[in-house]
Structure 1
Amino acid sequence: MAENFQLQGRHGKSRVRVSRVWRRPAAAGGDVIVEWNVAVSIVSDCLPSYTSSDNSAIVATDSIKNTVYVKAKECTEVVSMEEFAVILGRHFTSLYPQVSEATVTIVERPWERVTVDGKPHSHGFKVGVEKHSTEVIVKKSGSLRINSGIQGYSLLKTTQSGFEGFVTDRYRLLPDTRERIVATEVTAWWRYPFEHVSQLPSKPFCFTQRYQDVKKVLAETFFGPPDVGVYSPSVQNTLYLMAKEVLTRFPDISSVQLRMPNLHFLPVNLGSKEAPLVKVKLPLL
């Protein structure tokens, strides 16, 4: 009986740490530095390397790693991580005939410019917390998919949050409340509408600025106005409103996904217990 196999060869290189500095005078905003953790996965017609030990179609991990470094050096102007991922994807799918698709994933370490005496420093940076990430898929046909996101974005408010009216059964211990601390760590992914490399704007689309814009809208929706805030009946409802606001504010984002686990700050019921009186005997002077 004949056996039918459908095989796809995929290989690549991950954990390629690349840093790039663009030197600029203080008058132009100062130096720009990025630190990226890059992973490249390519789909190629390399079946003989599996079936007959013929590696002639394999692009070695060493070549992939060095390509990342070379392409970063060739970027003489500041580029976003999304733009850099597209550059890498187009390179691998155009240079190698056997490569039909390239997936480039980048996570950026958040180096932020420091402020000294109220002024942005020209070449001083500190590490932030939340991380910008992207996944770009480029096919030989020019088909394109760009997803970007944020990881580790921690948000907390001390009031204006509750949770009530949920299922009551014999397992429930949690009481209804309209007053609690609400905290979460946001992981967000959003998709840009560009479906072909030809649809990319001739003038570079500022993906980095859009990342900052989305982060700002997520926080503004979570917290509400600075003086009065906004009431959150549940993390689920707040998540929905945050995602809805992103799609409403930015037509160039076609979809968004949010993951927001509830980081609990639970009150301790001390009952009628009181702290004991502590007496301290001081030495006579």
Structure 2
Amino acid sequence: MAKEMDGFNFEQRHGKARVRVGRVWRSKDGRPHSMVEWNVNISLLSNCTGAYVRDDNSDIVATDTMKNTVYVKAKECSEQLSAEEFAILLGKHFTSFYAQVFTAIIKVVEKPWERVSVNGQAHEHGFKLGSEKHTAEAIVQKSGILQLTSGIEGLSLLKTTKSGFEGFIRDKYTALPETRERMLATEVTASWRYSYESVSSIPEKPLYFNECFLNVKKVLADTFFGPPDGGVYSASVQSTLFHMAKAVLSRFTDISSVQLKMPNIHFLPVNISSKDIGVIVKFNDDVYLPTDEPHGSIEATLSRFWSKM
């Protein structure tokens, strides 16, 4: 919210970034332990302009206090909860506990610790680091209005065939040949906005958003690959991105919009020859040079008509 200060528009926020917290839930009845590692970012919109213009810090919530609050609230969570639920919990606290705070923006990135299996059996307290990160952002207003977004970072997908790129613009700068046979690889960054508009409207089912995260990830991957026998042809990264986003909205009615960023990570055909020997390596859809710099950058957002994203 902008305010006029000395003839200028003035907007401000402050917070604490990269608050790392690990939380273990130890069962006393013999069930496996559960754990999470979160990286929390807090940003508060508040009425504390006096600190900027009058050297008056009386309305400032110290960022060190915000850091401590993360650990206190993690301690108070006696039952396992999702990153989304923790973000909402923190947002509710800051907007209700401090009169001058009218909006809290809480971002949480969950490190992908996964339970290990030993001899085919899930270990009760052993974990290994996976790949895709689970992200969540809750924007909570003092009135209870909520904007909730979840996401995935680092979802690496690759298929060795059923991909091509034809019919694009050709001009004097174009060297890329057309093809109906190429590798397709990407590292998906996805975010999706839920349709819940208030803190009181979110589902009360435990770990609901963890379940949603896993299901959305599966739909994205399944759409990218297609059926296990034969797969599905990709005419471009753009086409595959659209079908992935559409599949998510078709499957999950409480998601109002999906944003996907899908860099085209290239596997370049290897052909090597010399004047003395001639052909040393002739490419036959078999030997590639993997490279991620430079790469194609493709992103888009698909929303329902009533979405506010």
Q: Taking structure 2 as the reference length, what is the TM-score of the superposition?
A: 0.85
Equivalent residue for 1:189, pick from 191, 206, 217: 191
Whether 1:248 aligns to 2:254 is no
Report the Cα offset of residue 8 of structure 1. Answer: 2.9
Distance across 2 between alignment mates of 1:205 and 1:114: 20
Question: Alignment partner for residue 71 of structure 2, among 37, 51, 69?
Answer: 69
Aligned partners of 1:8 and 1:43 also within 8 Å:
no
Whole-angstrom distance in 2 between the partners of 1:5 and 1:274: 68
Q: How does 1:51-200 map to 2 (within 5 A)?
A: 51-200=53-202
Give TM-score, length-normalised by structure 1.
Answer: 0.92
Structure 1 or 2: more strand by fraction? 2
Distance 2:210 2:160 in 1: 31
Structure 1 residue runs without a partner (length 5+): 276-285
Structure label with greater radius of gyration:
1
Amino acid at match of 2:262: M
1:215 is aligned to 2:217:
yes
Q: Does 1:21 align with 2:27?
A: no
Q: CA deviation at 1:269?
A: 2.5
Shift of 1:234: 0.7
Which residue of structure 1 aligns with residue 292 of structure 2?
none
% same residue: 61
Q: Deviations over 1:111-145 (max 9, x none)?
A: 00111101111110000111111111001111100
Is structure 2 residue 50 aligned with structure 1 residue 48? yes
Distance 1:183 1:106 in 2: 27
User: What letter corresponds to residue 71 of structure 2 in structure 1?
Assistant: Y
- Please state if 1:273 is matched with 2:279: yes
CA change 1:181–1:26 in 2 (3 A) is farther
Contact 2:156 2:187 survives alignment (8 Å): yes
> What amino acid is aligned across from residue 7 of structure 1 in structure 2?
F
Distance in 2 separating the partners of 1:26 and 1:247: 40
Change in 2 beyond 3 A, CA 1:236/1:25: farther
Instruction: Please list every run of 5 or more consecutive structure 2 residues that lacks an aligned counterpart in the other structure.
Output: 282-309
CA contact (8 A) 1:8 1:44 kept: no
SS in 2 for 1:210: helix
Question: In the TM superposition, what is the alpha-carbon distance from 1:205 to its structure 2 partner?
Answer: 6.1
Structure 1 residue 204 displacement after superposition: 4.2
SS of 2:267's equivalent?
coil
What RMSD, in angstroms, separates the aligned Cα atoms of the two structures?
Answer: 1.6
CA distances 1:32-68 after superposition (whole Å, capped 9, x unpaired):
1100000100011111111111111100011000000
| Change in 2 beyond 3 A, CA 1:109/1:87 | same
Tell me the distance in 2 between the aligned counterparts of 1:106 and 1:27: 30
Partners of 2:28 and 2:53 lie apart in 1 by: 56
Q: Secondary structure of the equivalent of 2:280?
A: coil
SS at match of 1:216: helix
CA deviation vs aligned residue, 1:233-252 (integer Å, no higher than 9, x gap): 11110000000000001101
2: CA distance, partners of 1:105 / 1:117: 37
**Structure 2 CA distance for aligned equivalents of residues 173 and 203 of structure 1:** 54
C-alpha distance in 1 between matches for 2:257 and 2:105: 19
